[in-house]
Structure 1
Amino acid sequence: MPMSRRPAANPARRRDIGIALACGAFVGLMVGAAYAAVPLYDWFCRVTGFGGTPQVATAAPGEVLDRRITVRFDANIGRGLPWRFEPEVNSVNVRLGEVVTIYYTITNQAARETSGTAAYNVAPAQTGAYFGKIDCFCFTEQRLAAGERREMAVVFFVDPKLAEDRDQDSLNTITLSYTFYPTRSPATAAASGGS
């Protein structure tokens, strides 16, 4: 009884399947990288101070040095947010390692409730690695009733390690800058049809 032989697999077909699988894996990897890019970049900036991103601190440094730095405060409002936003003082002179609390005031000048979220950075950008914030209002949505006024604290220090960075020997001023951007509340989005 003759044995039937299976036809040999087509090598071109196997190659095409392999290429298709490799392309699919590559596309999947790129989509995953696109979704991970923003949180990874944010994490990188927070860890290294890249781009003037201040460090988030949980406690004050262990020492206070005699070297002083002037910290200036900048307050900005994005388009479409009817608020007045200003620091209580324009600048303070602080010692490295000294914990300082300053206040910003926001006032809703609209006749309705509005909300906003603040983003921040420091300049010069390379000082972000040395600017530690223990407490602040950034990245937390602030909702203000019509005409409401609110004071918000920022607790910070300039890390004494700045004194060890020879590239910063001539540094005498750091600017902490906040910008409030409007946010849409779920109720406003639903009322406008979610568009």
Structure 2
Amino acid sequence: MNRNSKTVVALVGVVLTMGALAWAAVPFYNWFCSVTGFGGTTQVSTQAPDEVLDEVVRVRFDANVDKNLDWTFRPMQTRMDVRIGQNAMAYYEAVNNSDQTITGTASYNVAPDVSGYYFDKIQCFCFTEQTLKPGERVEMPVSFFVDPELVNDRDASWVRDITLSYTFHRTEPKQAALDAAPADNVN
């Protein structure tokens, strides 16, 4: 193999490697954030811990709507004082202001970012799509707790104020997307 051929093979290898890494970047980043709480990504749990501390965290609630979604979305409480380890329930309200049925999905995070590793959700409207008919109003719960291990983390033990923030985005309903997909030709 001559020198030019080796260079071409090496460059093709570099391009393929870069393409593979770019393809894997988003799933890897999502996995990394969910494991570490990076960027304020919260955790998911099946139940609150048995240990409830006497220390209190103030949780503030924030709501935003993407400009392409004709919904009103707001927290039904602006803040809540919660004992660390205590299972708490908060509610958000969404109203479809349009004349058509719309599906939305909520993205979320907490601030400060370091609290993401210790903020656990048990139940949340953000786990599934929400479809609202024209003019429909719904109250959506989020069940959560702050892990008692927060007080043992030297980087996060100072956190006593956490903001839980959601942004609703318009999405294509999964079933509608499946119905719109071209059928496989089977002969």
TM more than 0.5 = yes
Out of 79, 83, 87, the position equivalent to 2:71 is: 83
TM-score, normalising length from structure 1? 0.83
Matched, 1:125 2:125: no
Report the Cα offset of residue 169 of structure 1.
4.1
In the alignment, the residues of structure 1 paired with residue 127 and residue 9 of structure 2 have an alpha-carbon distance, to the nearest angstrom, of: 41
CA distance 1:184–1:19, shift in 2 (3 Å)? same
Q: Deviations over 1:150-185 (max 9, x none)?
A: 121111110101111234444221000001112245
TM-score in terms of structure 2 length: 0.87
Pairwise CA RMSD of aligned residues? 1.7
- Tell whether the 8 Å contact from 1:119 to 1:139 is kept in structure 2 after alignment: no
Change (3 A) 1:66 1:119: same
Structure 2, unpaired ranges of 5+: 181-187
Residue type of the alignment partner of 2:74:
E
CA distance in 1, matches of 2:47, 2:35: 16
Deviations 1:85-134 (CA, angstroms, capped at 9, x unpaired): 11221111111111112111111011111221110010111111111111
Counterpart contact for 1:69–1:174, Cα < 8 Å? yes
Mapped partners of 1:152, 1:119: distance in 2: 14
- Sequence identity of aligned pairs in percent? 52
How much has 1:62 moved relative to structure 2? 3.1
Gap runs ≥5 in structure 1: 1-12, 191-195
Question: CA separation in 1, counterparts of 2:147 and 2:59?
Answer: 13
Shift of 1:19: 2.2
Count matched residues.
176
Contact kept, 8 Å, 2:115 with 2:159, in 1: the verdict is no
